[in-house]
Structure 1
Amino acid sequence: MTDFITRFAPSPTGPLHLGHAYSAILAHDMARAANGQFLLRIEDTDLQRSKPEWDALIRQDLTWLGLHWDGPVLRQSMQLTSYDTYLAQLAARDLLYPCSCSRADIRAALTAPQEGHPHEVYPGTCKQRLMSDRKPGDALRLHLDRALALLTDDFPRFVETGEAHKGTHQIDPSQAHTQIGDVVLSRKGEDIVAYFLASAIDDARQDITHVIRGEDLFDFTAIQVILLTLLNLPVPTYHHHRLIRDDHGKRLAKRDDARAIATYRAEGKTPADIRAMIGL
C-alpha cells in the first residue's frame, strides 16, 4: 500500500466553486508529489438534496481542471446500510441513545458544519432515553460522556500538517463537551448517516492516510478521531488548508454561482487561470 492516499469528497448538492477547486487541486497535487493516490468520493447520504446532475458536473469540472482520480468513485448512497454495522458496535457498548427532538435541528446536525453556521451543542434533552425506547423517526446520538469515559486512560491523538494548526493534538475532553457535545450519527426512516460518522468510516474503508480539507472543519476533527478510536479504525493524518473567500472575506458557498467552476469555464477561462486565481 502506498504511503500517501488522499481523497476529494464533495457533496452533489450544487456546483463546485473556487474553494472546491483549491481543495481538490491541493489534494491531487500533494498525492502526485508523494507518488501516492488521489481518490474521488461522492458524499451523497442526503438523498433529498443530492442530485445526479451535480454529481455529473463534479466529475466534469475535475476532469476539466486536469485532475484524475485513481480507481472507481465511491458513492456513499450505494452503501448506506454498511454504516449500520458500526452503529451497532457503538450501540452494543451503550454509547448511543435515541433522540426525538426537532426534525429540522436534527437534519441540520447531520451535514458537515460550515463557517458562519456555528455548531450548537446539544443540551441533552433526550440523554436519559434508552435504545429500547427508540421510536420510528428517532435519531441516534453519541453519548459523549460514556465515550470519553472509555478513553480516559489515553485520550486519542492526531497529527495535523496544515499551517494554522500544525503539530500533534491530543483530544481535550472538556473542549469536546463544550464545542461538540452529543452529535447526531444517523436518523432512522430517512436513511441518513451523519457526515461525522460516514466520512470517518469511509476514510478508513478507503485506507486514506491523509485527509485534506478546509480549516473550517478543524474543530470537528476531534469527534471523528473519537469515533475512529472507539471503532478501532486507523486515524489518518489531517491537513486543514486555508479557505478561498470572496471580496468581503466570506467563505464561498455553493449558491454563489458567480464563482462556480462551470461559470468560469463557460467564460473561456482555462485551468491555469483557475490555479492562478486561487494561488496554486
Structure 2
Amino acid sequence: MTLLTFRFAPSPNGELHLGHAYSALLNQQMAARAGGRLLLRIEDIDITRCTPEFEAGIVRDLKWLGLDWEEPVRRQSEHFDEYKAVLDRLIAEELVYPAFMSRGEIRAFIAETERRGRGWPRDPDGVPLYPPLDKALPMKERKRRIAENMPFAWRLDMKAAIASAPAALSWLEFTDETITTTRIVEATPQDWGDVIVARRDIPTSYHLAVVVDDALQGVSHVVRGQDLHSATGVQRLLQELLRFTPPRYFHHRLILGPDGRKLSKSLKDTGLAALRQAGLSPHDVRRLVGL
C-alpha cells in the first residue's frame, strides 16, 4: 500500500510567520490523520534572495513547533539539471519560446495599447499578460538574439500548450481538512497568459520546479494557501504536458494580519523567532492560528 505523501515547501528568503506556521502544522496534522508521510522541501531557486541563514532559521522554527519530517530534505538549488532536462522537453516540443521584452518595454507596449482605447488583460494577480510580439519572431531572429546574449526568459506558449494537453484540465480539491469530501475544479491556465517557466540563467521557475518536485517525490496531497488556488491551473497544465500524475489539492484559509491583509515576509510581518523570543510557546502559536 502506497503511503499518502504531504509536503511543506517554504522559500528561505525571509523568516517564517504565523501563516507559514499554520500551513506547516496543517500539513503535519493531515499527514498524521491519514497515516502518511510529511516531507520538507526548500524552494530556493531564487539564489539571490535565498540564504543558508534563512534556511537554518526555518529548520529551527519548525523543530520548535514540533514538526518532524523525512530525510533527506530536497533543496531545489541542487536539482537544476533535473529541471533543465524537463525544460529541454518543452523546448523540443515547441511549447515554450524565448521572450526578450524587458519590463520597461512591456509597460510601454501596454500603455500605448491602452492609450488607443483598448484594454489589456490581467492575470488573477492583476499583472498584465505578456504581449504576443516575441511569439511571432522568426526562428532565425530568435537564435540571433540568443547568440548575442540578449536577456530572455522561456515562456509557455499557452495556446499551444492547452491544445497539446492530452486530457481535460481540472483538479481534485478537498473541501475540508478531513480529506474525505472532494470536488472537481475546472483549471483555467489561460487566465495567466504565457507564464515564465525558466530564466536564461536559471533553468526553471516556481511553476516548473514545483511540478517536477511533486512528481519526483511522489507527493499525493498538496496542502497550501488559498492564494495559490488560481495558480494550480498552470501547474495542472504542466503536469499533463509532462505526463505526471497530479496530486490532490487542499487550499487552506489564510492567516490575516490586524489590517486584514495576508501576512508577508516581504512586508516584515512578525516572524516565529520573534514570537518565541517574546515568550510564546508552540501551544500559543497553535491557538493563534486556530489549531
2:169 maps to amino acid: P
1:138 maps to amino acid: F
Cα separation, 2, equivalents of 1:183 and 1:61: 33
Q: TM-score if structure 2 supplies the norm length?
A: 0.85
Which residues of 2 match residues 15-34 of structure 1 at below 5 A?
Answer: 15-34=15-34
Cα separation, 1, equivalents of 2:65 and 2:19: 13
TM-fit CA distance, 1:117: 5.3
Corresponding residue of 1:109: none
Q: TM-score if structure 1 supplies the norm length?
A: 0.88
The 3-state SS of whatever aligns with 1:193 is coil
- Is 1:245 matched with 2:256? yes
Cα separation, 1, equivalents of 2:280 and 2:135: 53
Q: Is the 8 A contact 2:6 2:38 kept in 1?
A: yes
- Residue number among 268, 272, 277 corresponding to 1:261 in the alignment: 272
Q: Is the 8 A contact 1:244 1:252 kept in 2?
A: yes
TM-fit CA distance, 1:121: 1.9
The 3-state SS of whatever aligns with 1:140 is strand
Report the identity percentage. Answer: 40
Q: Is the 8 A contact 1:83 1:193 kept in 2?
A: yes
- Is 1:127 matched with 2:143? no
TM-fit CA distance, 1:148: 1.0
Cα separation, 2, equivalents of 1:76 and 1:247: 34
Corresponding residue of 1:275: 286
Corresponding residue of 1:41: 41
**Per-residue Cα deviation, 1:169-207 (whole angstroms, up to 9, x for no partner):** 233xxx432x2111011111x325210110111000100
Corresponding residue of 1:110: none
Q: State which drifts further: 195-204 or 154-163.
A: 154-163
TM-fit CA distance, 1:163: 4.7
Q: Look at both structures and tell me which one has the larger radius of gyration over its CA atoms.
A: 2
Cα separation, 2, equivalents of 1:14 and 1:22: 17
Q: State which drifts further: 119-128 or 239-248.
A: 119-128
**Per-residue Cα deviation, 1:30-64 (whole angstroms, up to 9, x for no partner):** 10111100000000000000011000000000000
Cα separation, 2, equivalents of 1:242 and 1:119: 23
Corresponding residue of 1:159: 172
Q: Which stretches of structure 1, 4 residues or more, deviate above 4 A after TM superposition?
A: 103-106, 163-166
- Is 1:13 matched with 2:3? no
| Cα RMSD (Å) | 2.2
TM-fit CA distance, 1:3: 3.4
Cα separation, 1, equivalents of 2:264 and 2:41: 20
2:126 maps to amino acid: P
The 3-state SS of whatever aligns with 1:12 is coil
Which residues of 2 match residues 1-280 of structure 1 at below 5 A?
Answer: 2-102=2-102, 118-129=126-137, 133-134=142-143, 135=146, 136=149, 137-151=151-165, 154-163=167-176, 167-171=183-187, 175-177=188-190, 179-188=191-200, 190-191=201-202, 193-257=204-268, 259-280=270-291
1:60 maps to amino acid: R
- Segments of structure 1 that go 5 or more residues without pairing to the other structure are 107-115
Q: Is the 8 A contact 1:5 1:31 kept in 2?
A: yes
